[in-house]
Chain A
């Protein structure tokens, strides 16, 4: 088992209370930061840690912080993205439920580093139980003098509020989130300007994921350099992986980046193998938005080496043979699952969740859903696969926000890797309604590439 930085004390009874959290070393990072470090020191530590945003895009957090504009006399904001709506992802809910003070402490340290005096945690509205938990944790922190006026006698003031969303996947996109926090529809904004220049109420704003903010606590406690020693290459530290689908032990796991995908799926410390003695068919490794890979490509790189759970290794091979770490939503499909049906389901999701601002996304997601729906119901045509690839291409890169890409990639990758399963649906309109295509060749060893002299 690898090192745990976020979930080390998750099984300690009462760790959701301030008292027990403190007994386990909680709020030490806050004291260290406020009493011994300047804002610049803190940003520097985070830069050194190599922490990359845990919300999906993997943008270096320290760099994002250093972009924050600091005009005189203008408020700055830190907004935590707890919208967690990417299908396959449920780590933020877990963290907020069981160890809420990790997020609260991270919010206070990060707000101090950024010079924000009011910060918000935007939680998806469906997580009302987590909102109540956070409100309670905030009240406890305030009582202990960690929030409010003159925190720990430093002269620094901070108010922290929890805001519920209204049920819209798009509000996870940071500018849609800011619109929503302003009480509007969640329509993403055209960038630039980026939130670091003009965010909430037009003021400089940093938006960070729950896990990114919680990771600030161990980074400050141990120092950025030490944190950067964990993991592999530019994938530093630990990452929460939400594992779901046809595995023996679904749940949230903290891994050291660099663990092999094979170990993650088959080790009893993690997923514990495929459920019911079935065989692995495919994996969506980083939430519904990333390309789906067949068993052989998720376990191994095209050169035969083992694929690792890291930003670089998962994306090795680009979109031809690779995928992405994304939000760490690891969805496992066994041999009885239909990739065609799963692809339709995701397409339906994106069509439902498109905000409708840009025509390629609004219309394209609708068309992909329709075409996939007829395919999955045995009414598709051979030309549908090319049609889908064509629609996906026309969406990709042509929209205001990345939801368009997120809708296009799963479809394009499913057809790239599982085309014969789609064709089987077309050729077997009746059989495909009663039976699954099965594992086919998707777990076969990869062909060994020969180098030509």
Chain B
């Protein structure tokens, strides 16, 4: 699962290191491993995914074994183990959303981007995937975009067109 490796040199910025230190302070002495999930989110926000190289650095920082980081990163669905598009459209595919058309929205996004789930568009901007219930079933269909997980609700094919246009322009 950790088949993809990083090609860039991984340097943790001062800002990132600050954030990491802050999270560790939330926990009792000796329980710094509790900071692992928040730190992985911060690392992913900075690099776009969590590479084995970045995980090794996190292990170093928390004074735990690298395997303790790998096993966690591979368990949770939010951590990307390979590079993604700049914008990852994560669309809910669970029952309640499907009652009001989520499946159509997912296939529409696939057609529109011209890639399969998990693949990245040629310009490096987009990827998409189906995710499980996002606790927003009343506003379905919904999608989110990290790293701040902004929400887009009551999706229609028109609103998807508009969103993709906006993201392209934002870039």
Residues on A lying within 8 angstroms of B by beta carbon are 75, 84-90, 92-93, 118, 120, 124-129, 132, 159, 161, 163-169, 180-186, 201, 242-246, 250-252, 284, 288, 329, 331-333, 337, 341-342, 345-346, 349, 352-353
Contacts and interface: CB of A to CB of B under 8 A. Distances in A.
Given A167-B78, A353-B132, A88 B96 contact: yes
Given A246-B99, A353-B132, A345 B41 contact: no
A125 B95 contact: no
Contacts of A164: 37-38, 41
12 contacts: A85-B132, A88-B96, A89-B135, A161-B26, A165-B76, A166-B37, A166-B72, A183-B34, A245-B137, A288-B94, A345-B93, A349-B132
A88 B133 contact: yes
A155 B95 CA distance: 49
B133 A127 contact: no
A87 B132 contact: yes
Contacts of A288: 94-95, 133
B100 A245 contact: yes
B3 interface: no
A86 B133 CA distance: 7
Contacts of B147: 128
A118 B34 CA distance: 14
A330 to B, nearest CB: 10
Q: Label chain A's interface by main secondary structure.
A: mixed
A157 B137 CA distance: 38
B94 to A, nearest CB: 5
A331 B99 contact: yes
Nearest to A246: B99
A164 B95 CA distance: 25
A127 B37 contact: no
Given A165-B76, A166-B76, A342-B95, A329 B132 contact: no
Most buried by B among A120, A167, A181: A167
Interface of B: 26, 28, 31, 33-38, 40-41, 62, 68, 71-72, 75-79, 93-96, 98-100, 131-140, 144, 146-151
Given A128-B149, A201-B31, A245-B100, A166 B133 contact: no
B138 A244 contact: yes
Report the 7 A-B pairs with minimum CB-CB distance, sorted nearest first.
A166-B76, A167-B78, A183-B36, A244-B137, A183-B33, A250-B138, A167-B77
A87 B26 contact: no
A245 B149 contact: no
Contact of B37 (A85, A169, A183, A352): A183
Given A87-B95, A165-B76, A345-B98, A185 B71 contact: yes
Contacts of B68: 183-184
Contact of B95 (A183, A252, A346): A346
A92 B68 CA distance: 31
Given A87-B94, A288-B95, A337-B99, A184 B72 contact: yes
B35 to A, nearest CB: 7
A302 to B, nearest CB: 26
A180 B77 CA distance: 13
Nearest to B132: A349
Given A75-B28, A186-B75, A127 B149 contact: yes
A182 B96 CA distance: 32
A163 B35 CA distance: 9
Given A166-B75, A183-B36, A329-B137, 10 more contacts: A87-B95, A90-B135, A120-B26, A129-B148, A163-B34, A166-B40, A167-B79, A182-B33, A201-B31, A345-B94
Given A88-B96, A201-B31, A333-B99, A163 B76 contact: no
A148 to B, nearest CB: 14
A273 B75 CA distance: 41
Contacts of B38: 163-164
Given A168-B75, A246-B100, A163 B148 contact: no
A124 B132 CA distance: 12
